[in-house]
Amino acid sequence: MAAALALSERGRGRTAPNPNVGCVIVRDGIVVGRGWTQPGGRPHAEAMALAEAGAQAPGATIFVTLEPCAHRSARGPACADLLIGARPARVIAAIEDPDPRTAGEGFARLRAAGIAVETGLLADEARRAMAGFLMRRAHGRPFVTLKLATSLDGRIALADGSSRWITGDAARAHVHLERSRHEAILVGRGTWEADAPRLDVRLPGLEGRSPRRILLSSRHHSPSGGDDGECIGGMDAISTLSGVDHLFVEGGAETAASFLRADLVDRLLLYRAPILIGAGKAALGDIGLTHLADAHGRWRMEDARMLGSDRFEAYLRQRN
């Protein structure tokens, strides 16, 4: 299942509105098929893995990160039916599909066909891997990641606005990799005007994976300068961004604070350089905190490492 989850990450940010599923087929201890949801959402992970497994699928064990879909679509058959046709011995799924057209029906159909079904393996990890799809299903909005790149004292720029560079090459490359895992990047007006042309993915081989660029601005108008970005007038409008299940918020301080104030940030990426800036631009404006005790228990460290001499930390918002 861990291998299937790793495969599912390949689709993150490219499969909306479909989930980025991963699938591994094992026969006699050997991996005979691997699949992940393809860009645009089709083929599904199971179809890709079954195509690779071919004649070795009967009797095999199929690991899949999400319940196989039970609904036919104009773009392809239901994965539950595909699986039944391939006659595996067992299907092990991490979590159930919240899509009401499936929601247990996929498992029921497999069991009715005499295939053993188990669920719950690495379920928490699967929820993290498909957080965008699940957030969209549960709350009708994208999963939001906020990026902050700061000095040790929490500054994102000098008082004159200069911010090139705070972090080093490795940290900036990591930011580009994170961008490639999101359907869209959102920034406020100041960052747009300073940086819009740079909000892309500049990593060898991933240049084609630059996300859509969204400008958040209360003054409704099109982005200037012949730019092909989109504009939304308020944070609530992120739910209307079709095909965006993962949204990357990159700044500035007021935009970041607005998202935090509305409790719309699900994941926080911190890149901290070993420098001090002193008086300068703070990472965040007012996030609506009035009691220090309320600040605790909201963020749990998910990942941490050094990127060159910079420190990277990822935090997940803890909600009950």
Cβ–Cβ < 8 Å for 229, 196: yes
Query: What single-letter DSSP state applies at residue 295?
Result: G
- List the one residue from 14, 34, 155, 213 that touches its own copies (CB under 8 A): 155
Q: Does 300 bind its own copies (CB under 8 A)?
A: yes
How big is the chain, counted in residues? 320
Q: Does 44 bind its own copies (CB under 8 A)?
A: no
Least separation in angstroms between residue 214's CB and its own copies is 23
Task: Collect all residues with Cβ–Cβ distance below 8 Å to 13 and sequence separation of at least 6.
Answer: 20, 132, 180, 181, 182, 183, 209, 211, 245, 246
Please choose, from the candidates 320, 211, 317, the residue with its C-alpha nearest in 3D space to the C-alpha of residue 267.
Answer: 317
**Residue 250 among the catalytic residues:** no
Residue with tokens 């998202």: 259
| Residue numbers 166-185 binding its own copies by CB under 8 A | 166
Least separation in angstroms between residue 163's CB and its own copies is 7
Q: Are strands 155-158 and 184-188 parallel, antiparallel or unpaired?
A: unpaired
Q: Does 231 bind its own copies (CB under 8 A)?
A: no
Least separation in angstroms between residue 167's CB and its own copies is 10
| Angle, alpha carbons 126-131-136 (nearest 5°) | 135
Phi, psi of 131 (to 5 degrees): -60, -35
Binding piece for its own copies, criterion CB under 8 A, among 77-85, 200-208, 237-245, 308-316: 308-316
**Residues that contact its own copies, how many (by CB under 8 A):** 47
Binding piece for its own copies, criterion CB under 8 A, among 24-32, 175-183, 223-231, 257-265: 257-265
* Closer by beta carbon to its own copies, 174 or else 281: 281
Query: What distance in Å separates the CA atoms of residue 159 and residue 149, rounded to the nearest whole number?
Result: 16
In DSSP notation, 123-192 reads: HHHHHHHTHHHHHHHHHSS-EEEEEEEE-TTSEEEETT---TTSS-HHHHHHHHHHHTTSSEEEEEHHHH
Residue with tokens 């000098």: 158
- List the one residue from 2, 116, 177, 276 that touches its own copies (CB under 8 A): 276
* Closer by beta carbon to its own copies, 92 or else 157: 157
Least separation in angstroms between residue 47's CB and its own copies is 41
Long-range contacts of 206-210 (CB under 8 A, 24+ apart): 206/176, 206/177, 206/180, 209/13, 209/14, 209/179, 209/180, 210/179, 210/180
* Closer by beta carbon to its own copies, 4 or else 316: 316
* Closer by beta carbon to its own copies, 77 or else 285: 285
Least separation in angstroms between residue 299's CB and its own copies is 5
Q: Does 284 bind its own copies (CB under 8 A)?
A: yes
Binding piece for its own copies, criterion CB under 8 A, among 60-68, 162-170, 218-226, 238-246: 162-170
Binding piece for its own copies, criterion CB under 8 A, among 14-22, 23-31, 81-89, 150-158: 150-158
Count H helices and E strands in the chain, helices first: 9, 15
Q: Does 270 bind its own copies (CB under 8 A)?
A: yes
Q: Does 277 bind its own copies (CB under 8 A)?
A: yes
Active site residues: 46
The binding site for its own copies (CB under 8 A) comprises 148, 150-155, 158, 162-166, 257, 260-261, 268, 270, 273-280, 282-292, 295-296, 298-301, 309, 311, 313, 315
